[in-house]
Amino acid sequence: MRSFEISSLAILASSLLVKAVPVYVTDVEVVTEEITVTKEFDGSYHTGAPHRVGTYTRHGASVQASSVVAAPSSTAAPVTSVVVPLSSSSSSVAAAKSSSSVVVIPSPASSSSSVVVVAYSSSSSAAVKASDAAVLVQKPTSAAAATTAKPATTAKPTTLATSTSAAKASSTAVAASSGGKRGLAYNSAAMVSPFSGSSKVSWAYNWASSSSGLSVSGIEYVPLLWGMASSFTGPWSAAASSAIASGSKYLMSFNEPDLSTQANLSPGDAASGFKTHMMPFAGKAKLGAPAVTNGGSPMGLTWLKSFLSSCTNCQIDFVCIHWYDSASNVAYFKQYVQDAYTAGGNKPLWITEFQASGSEAEQNTFLETVLPWLDSLDYVERYAWFMAGDASGQLLSSASSLSTLGNTFKSA
């Protein structure tokens, strides 16, 4: 769902200075809005009005806050947002509340448009840690995501397999996994290779129904039916069948259906789609419930519970969740995992995307803290950090070398 830097975000390191000061946080209301940014045919961008999609209140305690300050510029005043180019073009767009500190976090970008989701503190007097600051999320809209995956780490975007090649591509899915819980979310199959031989890493997925050439010993490919658009459902049956024949034992359904900029499905519509497209594989593979965000009600776990109630007579073998927040919020992460297990009816739990914001050192400390805990929980079956890419906060430092986080994820 979110990341903290793509290759073009070197600006984040070069243009932002973070200075820590001690503050106290009381109750902080976090509001999630979506803002649609559309690229026009002439190359210009049109920014729509913000639309609230979720709200929740975080009850805080004494923390060390950080204020994000823009580096001096000869042409512009200090800003609180970071601009993320959508392509190799010099044109770029950023949208945020002017009163909020902002961190830009990319997710799948559409070939024609992108949507920015902004989470910010609505209280002007509340102090929020820099890693808890506003989050901008670029995600694909509806059918546009059929041809565009999560953000590539080069200027040229990495695309998903098209419907005409989906079944063929999935024939490269990898056979039996090595047994560890850890998995890799990837755009480029080549970025899975550095994890070869790890006893901890056993599976991978790419938000698609075909593997796009994944072939790493000990890594099982897991297909995902991303949404209900025909561009996803059309190739699904053949691609899933081919993946199962090549060794895949699990199938996942619907990426963040509780978020309007992702699969965007009501619990009832998702249940109907699950019965139509997933249930034919019952008994042939283990089937996963849709992966929900950690947004407040009616999103997140509220949506999940409604889906499970609606999907009567469905074979659901495991429940999938996503989590994004501050690296300082280990307690919140653990509580959310436990709450998700309960909300999912005590079914095995997959955390198919999670990432904690902060410096690399803070992120690594977060991983070193939660990885042993996740491995110790019988009900957490699999989990994947976002993501196997070479942007900041991800698992590689280059196309073939692991980052500090990658080494921790591979071996710790």
pLDDT tens, residue by residue, 267-285: 999 999 999 999 999 999 9
pLDDT for residue 128: 31
List Cβ neighbours of 206 (8 Å cut-off, separation of 6 or more): 149, 150, 160, 185, 186, 187, 189, 212, 214, 224
Length of the chain: 412
Q: How many domains does the chain have?
A: 2
196 and 112 in a common domain? no
Whether residue 109 is contained in a domain is answered as yes
The Cα–Cα gap between 397 and 292 comes to 29
Residues 120 and 172 in one domain: no
pLDDT of residue 42: 62
Q: Tell me: do 195 and 55 sit in the same domain.
A: no
Task: Answer yes or no: is 2 within a domain.
Answer: no
Peptide bond into 252 cis (omega under 30): no
Residue 179 is predicted with a pLDDT of 74
CATH number where 183 lies: 3.20.20.80
Contacts of 345 (CB under 8 A, 6+ apart): 308, 319
Regarding beta strands 220-221 and 201-205, do their DSSP bridges make them parallel or antiparallel, or are they unpaired?
A: parallel
pTM of the model: 0.64
Between CA 307 and CA 280 the distance in angstroms is: 18
Buried b / exposed e over 114-145, threshold 16 CB at 10 Å, is: bbbbbbbbeeeebbbbbbbbbbbbbbbbbebb
Residues 324 and 201 in one domain: yes
Domain that holds residue 154: 143-411
Cis ω for the linkage preceding 223 (within 30 of 0) = no
Predicted confidence band at 51 (pLDDT cuts at 50, 70, 90)? low
Distance CA 287, CA 138 (A): 28
The helix/strand/coil state of 14 is: helix
Report yes or no on 336 lying in a domain.
yes
First to last CA, the chain: 24
Task: Give dist(CA 120, CA 195) in Å, integer.
Answer: 36
Q: Which has the minimum average pLDDT: 90-94, 134-138, 175-179, 341-345?
A: 90-94
Residue 32 confidence (pLDDT): 58
What Rg value do the Cα atoms of the chain yield, rounded? 20
Beta strands 318-326 and 182-186: pairing type?
Answer: unpaired
- Where does a domain end: 141, 175, 201? 141
CB of 402 closer than 8 Å to CB of 192: no
Q: For residues 29 and 134, what is the distance between their CA atoms, to the nearest angstrom?
A: 12
Question: Do 95 and 116 form a contact (C-beta atoms < 8 A)?
Answer: yes
184 and 289 in a single domain? The answer is yes
